[in-house]
Amino acid sequence: MPYLQLSAPCTEALQPRLERALEDVGALAVTLQDAHLDAADEQAIFEPGVGEVPLWDEMTLTALFDADTDALLLLAALEAFDPELDWSKARFEKVEDQDWERAWLDTFQPMRFGARTWIVPWNHDLPAEADTPDAAIVRLDPGLAFGSGTHPTTALCLRWLDELATAGDLRGKAVLDFGCGSGILALVALKLGAARAVGVDNDPQAIIATRDNAQRNGVAIDAHLPQEEPAATYPVVVANILASALDALAETLAARTAPGGRIAMSGILAGQEDELLQRFAPWFDALRATREDDWMRIDGVRNATAVAG
């Protein structure tokens, strides 16, 4: 089934108004892409922070409409909905439908993180190197939620979990995956020996994807929206969200980490780590920052004296 596709430049400030206008005139789907990166580059996509949507300063906004939609009438309707918006740079083209899941699976190959951790597409053959008794294998189908391991922020957290397991600091423990997306971090933690995993995400589709991926891997993840999250502390916490969300949720994350517990945080661009190191210093000791490409991970140990909140 073909579609009419509208593409237009967009800023963070105007995004809500543009998206409301498109939805009002009948858009079937609206997506956002970092304007500075190629549309096929996954570096442009990362897991949304709890309570917010990932936005860039400059974006390309894309909307799909029924194939028989008249582009000129559509522009007129958009201008009538919000006359202050500028649609002069909008581009239209006919696009054919495709099997998006098949296209994703064709590009997603098995990946290894650390000593034991493997992320493998659910219908892909297991690599020979992963066919060992101690391999932690996660069969993944992200579906509509982000988090396949290919983005550096996720990779940094996966390697941290693998290191934690190698050091004997994960087996038998409860793990909180804050901003769980596809559930990939919680899944890996369980496969590496964690006793229990809880996932939290603001996106209902992420909750569905996390539960589906858990079932596919023969484990259970207790996944919640933020307002439904039970108050508890955990010896291991991972939060692969955005730097702004980490800053806003510092007290919450500190309160969720048990005294002596370990935390890893990513979704941090290089240059943002110093402020976050200072932000979390009242609650965490041995804080360190690790870099991969343009992204950072911060990890540390919850001290026993500071009280969050």
CATH code assigned at 161: 3.40.50.150
103 domain residue, yes or no: no
The dihedral region occupied by 129, where left means phi > 0, alpha psi between -120 and 50, and beta the remainder, is alpha
What 3-state DSSP class applies to 137? strand
247 plus 188 within the same structural domain: yes
- Same domain? For 82 and 221 the reply is no
Question: Where a domain ends, among 97, 132, 167?
Answer: 97
pLDDT > 80? residue 99: no
Is residue 102 assigned to a domain?
no
The domain that contains 9 carries what CATH number? 3.30.70
Q: How many domains does the chain have?
A: 2
Q: Which of 121, 136, 135, 158 is nearest to 47 (CA)?
A: 158
Instruction: Report how far residue 153's alpha carbon sits from residue 147's, in angstroms, rounded to the nearest whole number.
Output: 9
The answer on 271 and 234 residing in a single domain is yes
Least confident of 54-58, 208-212, 282-286: 54-58
Q: Which residues contact 173 (CB under 8 A, 6 or more apart)?
A: 194, 195, 234, 235, 236
pLDDT in tens, 171-222: 999 999 999 988 999 999 999 999 999 999 988 878 888 898 899 899 999 9
Assess whether 151 and 222 both reside in one domain.
yes
Pairing of strands 117-121, 196-200: unpaired
What is the 3-class SS of 182-203, one letter each residue? CCHHHHHHHHCCCCEEEEECCC
241 in any annotated domain: yes
pLDDT of residue 233: 96
Q: Is pLDDT above 80 for 38?
A: no
22 & 116 share domain: no
Supply the pLDDT for residue 32. 73
| pLDDT averaged over every residue in the chain | 84
Residues 141 and 33 in one domain: no
Shared domain for 80 and 147, answered yes or no, is no
Mean pLDDT lowest among 12-16, 36-40, 218-222, 300-304: 36-40
Task: Reply yes or no on whether the pLDDT at 289 is more than 50.
Answer: yes
Q: End of a domain among 97, 124, 147?
A: 97
36 lies in the same domain as 112 = no
Q: Say what the pTM is.
A: 0.68
What mean pLDDT do residues 228-244 have?
Answer: 92
Q: Hey, what's the torsion of the CAs at 33, 35, 37, 40, to 10 degrees?
A: 40
Instruction: Summarize the confidence of residues 237-250 as an average pLDDT.
Output: 92
154 is in an annotated binding site: yes
Q: Are 140 and 121 in contact (CB under 8 A)?
A: yes
Residue 118 has pLDDT above 80, yes or no: yes
213 is in an annotated binding site: no
Q: Which residues contact 13 (CB under 8 A, 6 or more apart)?
A: none
φ and ψ at 111, to 5 degrees?
A: -135, 145
- 123 labeled part of a ligand binding site: no
201 assigned binding-site residue? yes
The last residue of one of the domains, among 97, 128, 153, is 97
pLDDT of 39 reads 37
Q: Within this chain, do residues 84 and 119 fall inside the same structural domain, yes or no? A: no
Contacts of 245 (CB under 8 A, 6+ apart): 49, 50, 51, 52, 179, 267
| Residue 78, domain extent | 3-97
Same domain for 297 and 210: yes
CA geometry: angle at 103 spanning 100 and 106, to 5°?
150
Query: Are residue 138 and residue 285 in the same domain, yes or no?
Result: yes
27 & 78 share domain: yes
Confidence grade of residue 146 (pLDDT, cut at 50, 70, 90) = very low
| Residue 307 confidence (pLDDT) | 58
Looking only at Cα atoms, what is the longest distance across the chain?
65
* Distance in angstroms (rounded) separating the CA atoms of residues 71 and 6: 9
* DSSP structural state of residue 127: P
Band (37; pLDDT cuts 50, 70, 90) = low
Q: Is residue 182 part of a domain?
A: yes
